[in-house]
Amino acid sequence: MIKISIILPYKENFSPTYAGAVSLHVEHISQNSIYKKNIQVFGNTKYKKKFKSNYTNITFNRLFLSSNQKKYIRNFIEIEKINPSSLIEIHNRPLYLKQLTEKLNRKFVFHYHNDPLSMNGSRLPKERIFMINNCEKIIFISDWVKKRFLKNIDEKRAITILRQFIKIHNYTLMSKEKYVKGKKNLFYQVIPMQIDMNTKRSLEKVVISFD
């Protein structure tokens, strides 16, 4: 049975008393999801009244000179080790992904609600490439947010990322040069590594293009 854990940003109030935009979004999606009964939301809410979704409040003793965000994620990791989920959904905190991947072997989905280039953990192209390589899916609240995420990730970098990603799923990428109206173009094919030994050809192929 699939089990989905949603980790909210630290101090995001998952309460109708004083809810942030992320909490409102998570509550709406969770209540209308076909996996509603399999979703557990984790956060750090100071209000007693909580939303209707299954919710676990991560509490700990806060120290002035230590990182409460890191402590928050460490506590979540300990919960995950005891009661593992199939998929972890992270909202708006790229740095959480790096901390979680170091300790947990899980599938991750990331939701961006704001400008990726304003957040620690996704300002640099290499940080965003790390996210692409370690997430099953990255969801953007708008096209503008998506374009910001892809800024300075050029075609060469995109192809490198694609090769790494599809290799995990037993696919490889082949390129072929073609001239169209006198201009050289590169066409790419995503091809399964499984080969039909009778024909020496791949069992299937998918042609992709880049705009």
Q: Which CATH number is 23's domain given?
A: 3.40.50.2000
pLDDT band at 61, cuts 50/70/90? Answer: confident
Residue 40, in any domain of the structure: yes
How much is the average pLDDT of 78-85? 95
Last residue of a domain, one of 116, 149, 182: 149
pLDDT score at 19: 87
Instruction: Mark whether 94 and 190 lie in a shared domain.
Output: no
pLDDT score at 166: 67
Sign of CA dihedral 50, 56, 61, 65: negative
Looking at this protein, which amino acid is placed at residue 131?
Answer: M
Q: What is the pTM of this model?
A: 0.74
Average pLDDT of the residues of the chain:
84
Residue 54, in any domain of the structure: yes
Query: Number of folded domains in the chain?
Result: 2
For 200, the domain range is: 170-208
Instruction: Mark whether 99 and 66 lie in a shared domain.
Output: yes
Instruction: Mark whether 45 and 128 lie in a shared domain.
Output: yes
How much is the average pLDDT of 51-70? 83
Instruction: Mark whether 8 and 74 lie in a shared domain.
Output: yes
Instruction: Mark whether 114 and 196 lie in a shared domain.
Output: no
Instruction: Mark whether 142 and 189 lie in a shared domain.
Output: no
Instruction: Mark whether 91 and 127 lie in a shared domain.
Output: yes
**Which has the closest alpha carbon to 7: 55, 50, 47, 49?**
55
How much is the average pLDDT of 21-45? 93
Q: Is the pLDDT of residue 169 over 70?
A: no
**172 vs 198, residue with greater confidence:** 172
How much is the average pLDDT of 21-28? 94
Residue 156, in any domain of the structure: no
Instruction: Mark whether 103 and 189 lie in a shared domain.
Output: no
Q: What is the 3-state secondary structure (H, E, C) of 22-67?
A: HHHHHHHHHHHCCCHHHEEEEECCCCCCCCCCCEEECCCCCCCCCC
What 3-state DSSP class applies to 191? strand
pLDDT band at 159, cuts 50/70/90? Answer: low
pLDDT score at 202: 47
Residue 20, in any domain of the structure: yes
Residue 87 φ then ψ, to 5°: -150, 140
